[in-house]
Each structure stands twice: as structure tokens, then as C-alpha cells.
Amino acid sequence: MEQMCKKRILVVDDEENARVALSKILVHDGYEVASASNGLEALNYLRSNEVELIITDLNMPEMDGLKFLRELNRSHPASNVIMITAYGEVESYLEAMTLGAFEYINKPVRYIELKKVIGKILTAI
């Protein structure tokens, strides 16, 4: 069944290969996808664009995922965020969840797992 209005997802990751690969998979699954290479670029994009979901990396230059999440809480408090990381630590997990991340997923991301989380979020809105 074709969606009447495509859900827009913002992918934020400083690793270009990871960002492009995830974006291609999401587009193939019928989502409208925008991307940013760091938190500052993502915040700039969000000033003039709305998205239903943000998938962000934790470790990025200039503004990491946690700083991005803090800024997002100020400017877009109702955002749905999935945090992904290759450096999963209890402290960053707890902080991300406290800051309102919907889910925290370790890299390498298994797309089947990610797809289930995306489905939970996007069917709830």
C-alpha cells in the first residue's frame, strides 16, 4: 500500500559511507530521507524543515550526538530520535535515554532491528 504522505527521516552521521548506505535503504523502503554530517548541520536543516524521525550517530566532530540531543530538546522538544553508536557505553546510553532518545542501537546496525524501531515510532505519530 503506497503511503499518501511519505514520512521524512533525517540521518545524521559523520561517516559518509554509513550515512549514504542507511539513506539508500530508507529511501528503498519508501521514506523521504535527508542527511547531515554532524549535529550543527542537522540543526540548521531543522530550522526550515520538519522530519518525523532523526537517526543520529553518537560520536561526531563539532557537535556529538548527546550535545545535538540537548540542543534538539531546546529547539524541537517533540523530536523522535534513535541514537546509533560504535562506542556503546552505559553512561552515554543512560544520558541519551534521559535526554529523550527513543532507542539506542549499537553499530554495526542490523537493519531488521532498526526497521522494527522505526516502525514503532512512525506508527505512533
Total domain count, the chain: 1
Separation CA 61–CA 75 (nearest Å): 21
Look at residue 91 and tell me if it is in a domain.
Answer: yes
CATH number at residue 12: 3.40.50.2300
Look at residue 28 and tell me if it is in a domain.
Answer: yes
Look at residue 79 and tell me if it is in a domain.
Answer: yes
Look at residue 1 and tell me if it is in a domain.
Answer: no
Cell triple for 65 = 550526538
Look at residue 103 and tell me if it is in a domain.
Answer: yes
Q: Is 65 helix (H, G, I), strand (E, B) or coil?
A: helix
What does the pLDDT profile of the chain (125 residues) look like in tens digits?
444 578 999 999 999 999 999 999 999 999 999 999 999 999 999 999 999 999 999 999 989 999 999 999 999 999 999 999 988 789 999 999 999 999 999 988 899 999 999 999 999 87
Look at residue 18 and tell me if it is in a domain.
Answer: yes
Look at residue 14 and tell me if it is in a domain.
Answer: yes
CB 12 within 8 A of CB 55: yes
The residue range of the domain holding 78 is 8-124
62 phi-psi bin (left φ>0, alpha ψ -120 to 50, beta other)? left
